[in-house]
Amino acid sequence: AMDTDLSSQDRKDLDKFIKFFALKTVQVIVQARLGEKICTRSSSSPTGSDWFNLAIKDIPEVTHEAKKALAGQLPTVGRSMCVEISLKTSEGDSMELEIWCLEMNEKCDKEIKVSYTVYNRLSLLLKSLLSITRVTPAYRLSRKQGHEYVILYRIYFGEVQLSGLGEGFQTVRVGTVGTPVGTITLSCAYRINLAFMSTRQFERTPPIMGIIIDHFVDRPYPSSSPMHPCNYRAGEDNAAVYPSVEDSQEVCTTSFSTSPPSQCVFTVTKAHFQTPSPVVTDTLKVPVMGLAFSHQLSSSRLSYQPAALGVGSADMGYPVLFAGGLNAAHPHQLLGPGKEGGVPPAPSQPAHGTQADQERMCIPLDGVHYSAATPSSSEDTETVSNSSEGKCSSPHDLLETIFIRKVGAFVSKPVNQVTMANLDIPFAMFAPKNVELEDNDPMVNPPDSPGTESPLQGSLHSEGSSGSSTGNTHDDFVMIDFKPAFSKDDILPMDLGTFYREFQNPPQLSSLSIDIGAQSMAEDLDSLPEKLAVHEKNVKEFDAFVETLQ
Amino acid sequence: CPCRTCCRGPRGAAPAMNCRAEVLEVSVEGRQVEEAMLAVLHTILLHRSTGKFHYKKEGTYSIGTVGTQDVDCDFIDFAYVRVSSDELDRALRKAVGEFKDALRSSGSDGMGQISLEFYQKKKSRWPFSDECILWELWTIKVNVVNLANEQERQICREKVGEKLCEKIINIVEVMNRHEYLPKMPTQSEVDNVFDTSLKDVQPYLYKISYQITDSLGTSVTTTMRRLIKDTLAL
């Protein structure tokens, strides 16, 4: 070590500065890719907790993941901290957009004063980072994310890997700060070839773990239930949540999606608890941990609620993190039958990169699943398993929760592997005959879990009509069970629920149906000459009539 | 500038020996002038502002916190980060507004430049007046183009956005050189180095001035137009 001249206090300070600088760097980068404008306030009185005299919020998960990636180490020569930003489309294609690298080289500046100059220069470097994160191409992409793609990040520590950026990537240097133990460099390598078409598939190594939203739908009911920002982390439950990270050299890398508040995607992390073997059909296998959350009706936006689903809370590690509808009563079994044929086999563990062990990704809201081993991103047929299973010597069992895609209640057409005959839907008789499924991927409804405090759950059941009030989104909307609030059986022979169901989906007006409409249009046209002739004959009558009106 | 008599900027001379001078050039449409100027000025000032100093006993001081916020441009495909200080934003907008008005009323060619100077005050003993010493000078040369149709304007939006990205990178490069910065002042000297009049942040003492250039002919405007036409032709 070349720090013989550095006092131990200075050394300690320097290490602390570098550590927090690394954490703040990650925060700035990730927050700049959330897709929303960031705003923090200046404060003239020092609060003492704002590192580098800058108001940079700390998203807890991000800090947590960064700490995990660093595993107590600091950037040194050959071991850099990298934040990888990538894009993933609704069809499952992904591509790396940027790699932000925090590196340390050997060039030391012995004369520099740690507590003052280094600190201030690190502050300046963070300001530069704030500015630069807005000028690379990924910024504009991230501001537009949501419907067709999401932006993900992944933190890893070790060797910088730029090969995923395609040819001709460019580099921008954010800045450097010399210290007595080396020079800190912050830079960004970014892809310039963004001509990325959905037909192109990108194979990822290391394997993808997790599922992506592949159905981006506009939310039709903006007011029907509250949305939680994706960086809202179960407020109340937050404190409990982060267990100690395994000290493994092969630090698991993590990635989260960064998306606007109205659209949440969550990542899955390693599970820590046992699970009963689930009953599976048409499944989506994801490693799951912790709490379930229900997702938004008819949209791919997740509403995050920390409902316990009967998983032994003592075993729970990280907070909620998965998508899919779970039946509260059977946390590992999804509602309804689905595909026949049982569970698709788990793929073999794919090869890993040396540092980038796992990538956590956003979670799809419908039942699309991905195989970790295959690059194909076609829907419905693949599964994902926790790639850390074989890799990390985890003493914990990995939960693989199986999700079943539930077909919409009002869907008449079978969807891929789900057939009507199999469906045990409550309103099958009302299913319209000519409803076209959008993308064949209806959203799974949040489960009926009366014990939860989710505002979303509450709104689902409060009127019974949230989400189904407009009849034209049946494809996206699935009602698992119908319990209209305030309905009683005593007064009328027909209860509110039955009434509602019966009249929920009245038949279309015949004049509005396309066939009849087309028919009558042709008829109308044909009969026009005839009608005209009649009117001409009666022209005197018409004139007289008009006279009476004047 | 409080020391009007002595602080000499681009019109005069006498910057400090170690004064940095940087020049940036942009070609923009009339309605983009303000946003482009604000983007550049705010980016520079973000790097040249600290939190408010609070001096304690024994000459130590603590520093307040600087907040930041994203600004989206309406007429340019561009976004930038500025310090969260309404006072500072107002001061910059005022200066840029005056510059824009001057440009507009100057004549058809629309060329000018805005200067952002950072200076230090050096107290002199009576009867000499205080000196202002320039230690960093930023000159932003602006060329206003007139575009004929909506298509050209759309291209201009994107192109100017890309250009501004380059400018931000240039600015950050300069900031990263860690060259001369005034020494951190004692309490009695702080007003010689920093502008302490703002309530939430503390930029280095700065001054903004501008100049409208006399017409140099239409060559620049024509070039810009040709560039856009070439792009359309592709």
Q: What strands, in cross-sheet order, belong to the sheet with A170-179?
A: A170-179, A182-190, A94-105, A80-89, A149-158, A254-258
CA angle A29, B32, B223 (to 5 degrees): 110
Q: Does residue B103 contact residue B112 with C-beta atoms inside 8 Å?
A: yes
Instruction: Return the residue of B nearest to A118 by Cα.
Output: B178
B51 and A175 within 8 Å at the Cβ level: the answer is no
| Contact list, B172 vs chain A (CB under 8 Å) | 128, 131-132, 174-175
Residue A200 CB partners (closer than 8 Å, separation 6+): A93
Q: Is the peptide bond before A345 cis (omega within 30 degrees of 0)?
A: no
Domain-located, residue A20: yes
A37 and B173 within 8 Å at the Cβ level: the answer is no
B79 and A128 within 8 Å at the Cβ level: the answer is no
Q: Does residue A81 contact residue A152 with C-beta atoms inside 8 Å?
A: no
In chain B the beta strands, taken as DSSP E runs, fall at 15-29, 49-51, 53-55, 61-63, 68-72, 79-83, 111-122, 131-145, 201-203, 206-212
Which residues span the domain enclosing A58? 8-197
Mutation target for B interface from A38, A125, A134, A184: give the one with most B CBs within 10 A. A134
Q: Region A148-152: what's the mean pLDDT?
A: 91
- The predicted-structure confidence for B23-37, as pLDDT tens digits, reads as follows 999 999 999 999 999
Whole-model pTM? 0.56
Backbone angles phi, psi at A112, to 5 degrees: -75, 145
- Alpha-carbon gap, residue B23 to B1, rounded angstroms: 22
- Alpha-carbon gap, residue A95 to A5, rounded angstroms: 46
| Contact list, B65 vs chain A (CB under 8 Å) | 42-43, 46-47, 50, 53-55
Domain-located, residue A452: no
| Shortest Cα distance, chain A CAs vs residue B15, angstroms | 24
- Alpha-carbon gap, residue B35 to B77, rounded angstroms: 11
- The predicted-structure confidence for A203-258, as pLDDT tens digits, reads as follows 333 333 333 333 333 333 333 332 222 333 333 333 333 333 333 222 222 223 23
Q: Does residue A464 contact residue A480 with C-beta atoms inside 8 Å?
A: no
Domain-located, residue A42: yes
Cross-strand partners of B62 = B54
- Alpha-carbon gap, residue A346 to A148, rounded angstroms: 28
CA angle A390, A393, A395 (to 5 degrees): 110
User: For residue B152, what are its two tokens?
Assistant: 């050209």
- Alpha-carbon gap, residue A230 to A510, rounded angstroms: 44
A174 and B176 within 8 Å at the Cβ level: the answer is yes
Domain-located, residue A156: yes
Q: Where are the domains of chain B?
A: 20-218
The tens-digit pLDDT sequence of chain B (234 residues) is 344 333 444 443 355 666 889 999 999 999 999 999 999 999 999 999 999 998 888 778 889 999 999 999 999 999 999 999 999 999 999 999 999 998 888 765 678 999 999 999 988 887 888 888 999 999 999 999 988 899 999 999 999 999 999 999 999 999 999 888 898 888 999 999 999 999 999 999 999 999 888 655 443 444 455 555 556 554
Alpha carbon B113 to chain centroid, angstroms = 10
User: Looking at residue A220, what is its pLDDT?
Assistant: 35
Number of CB atoms found within 10 A of residue A543's CB: 9
Tally of structural domains, chain A: 1
- Facing residue for A54 by CB, picked from B65, B165, B200: B65
CA angle A53, A56, A60 (to 5 degrees): 130
Give the residue among A21, A155, A134, A20 at the shortest CA–CA distance from A86. A155
B68 and A139 within 8 Å at the Cβ level: the answer is no
Largest CA distance in chain A: 114
Query: In the A/B pair of chains, how many CB contacts fall below 8 A?
Result: 118
| Shortest Cα distance, chain B CAs vs residue A197, angstroms | 22
Domain-located, residue A103: yes
Backbone angles phi, psi at A81, to 5 degrees: -95, 125
| Contact list, A43 vs chain B (CB under 8 Å) | 51, 64-65, 67, 200
Residue A115: give its domain's CATH number: 3.30.900.10
Of A180-194, A334-348, A464-478, where does mean pLDDT reach its minimum? Answer: A334-348
User: DSSP readout, B3-20?
Assistant: TTTT---SSS--EEEEEE
User: Looking at residue A128, what is its pLDDT?
Assistant: 98
User: Looking at residue A39, what is its pLDDT?
Assistant: 95
User: For residue B119, what are its two tokens?
Assistant: 């200076």
How deeply is A79 buried, as exposed, middle or buried, from its count of CB atoms within 10 A (0-12, 13-18, 19+)?
Answer: middle
| Shortest Cα distance, chain A CAs vs residue B173, angstroms | 7
* Pure H helices in A144-191: none
- Alpha-carbon gap, residue A250 to A246, rounded angstroms: 10
Domain-located, residue A126: yes
Domain-located, residue A270: no
- Alpha-carbon gap, residue A28 to A268, rounded angstroms: 22
- The predicted-structure confidence for A89-140, as pLDDT tens digits, reads as follows 988 888 999 999 999 999 988 888 877 899 999 999 999 999 999 999 999 9
CATH 3.30.900 fits B20-218, yes or no: yes
- The predicted-structure confidence for A40-54, as pLDDT tens digits, reads as follows 999 988 766 789 999
Domain-located, residue A288: no
Q: Does residue A428 contact residue A419 with C-beta atoms inside 8 Å?
A: no
B64 and A124 within 8 Å at the Cβ level: the answer is no
Location of structure tokens 């699943």: A369
- Facing residue for B54 by CB, picked from A46, A134, A135: A46
